[in-house]
Amino acid sequence: MKLGLVSDSLSHLSVEDVIKTAADLKLDSLEFATGNWSTAPHLDLDKLLSNPASRRDLQSRLSDNGLTLSALNANGNPLHPAETGRMHSACLHKTIELAALMGVENVITMSGLPGAPGDSFPNWIVTAWPPETQLILAHQWEVAESYWRSLAQVARDSGVRICIELHGQQLAYNLPTFRQLHDITGDVVGLNFDPSHIIWMGGDPLAFIRSAGSMIYHVHAKDTFIDSINRATATALDNRPMTMSRERSWSYVTLGYGQPESWWNQFCYALAHFADPGLTLSIEHEDMNLSRMEGVIKSVELLRRTAMVERSDYVLPAI
């Protein structure tokens, strides 16, 4: 397997320092955010689209440091019923265009989430009752089908794969809802599999991998800690701010601080066996209690031991 890094994990660093850090860690790739929910601190999407020299410069800086681009990330809500949706969709289309120009295979995004008819904000339906939930869902999937049939064709024509990241507050948030989306789009749309989201929603990422198999195109390596005491009363649906990690039922953490290292051995083995042994594991650091650099280094160290990757010239840096 290949090891990569979501560049936003080190959003406080310049693009030069992110590339240098990835090279020092002997990673294989970087994943850059292009906009939407990210401030895109490392890429200027419009400049890269309009300026071939800028694209060549970025590719040269990466290749000179032994790195590739595993994906471009445009996570957002292109189905938002207000202006936000149009803005996020425009960024996603531009990101697909840039990926085609730069020979990047994967564009990561989320399914998006509409509202109910006439709503100004998205509406995440997670229960089958009261009866109006089914009317809202029927409307949302009509909106999604029209949008995603068109976007899938754009990706096909561009020679780019779209990798859906399953998440709460999205129309596709688990395997059944992703299959519903996949039925609309075909294989040009697969998964950017992030186990941390499945864990907090109460699922089993290992069982998920067995079922999803070859539909997994890219992976985010991120962990979740479940606070069983808090969860007993707050349940999995905890909408308090992530900064309230002492009170919340779950929190995103550095690899190994939620699931033990033996679990990550099983996770990587399952990906290699049921999905694709050549997948990129892109480390995403969102731990509120460890510094960005410490979390990234600890995650690299764990994956070196579990992900069946070997780099003989790798020396773990000091934290």
193 close to 216: Cβ distance less than 8 angstroms = yes
Q: Which amino acid is at 291?
A: S
Comparing CA positions, the residue from 162, 235, 229 lying closest to residue 200 is 235
99 close to 155: Cβ distance less than 8 angstroms = no
pLDDT, position 312: 43
Compute the C-alpha angle 160/166/171, nearest 5°.
Answer: 100
pTM of the model as a whole: 0.95
Comparing CA positions, the residue from 63, 67, 8, 61 lying closest to residue 33 is 8
pLDDT, position 280: 98
pLDDT, block means (10 residues), the chain with 319 residues:
97 98 98 98 98 98 98 98 98 98 98 97 97 97 98 98 98 98 98 98 98 98 98 97 97 98 97 97 97 98 80 51
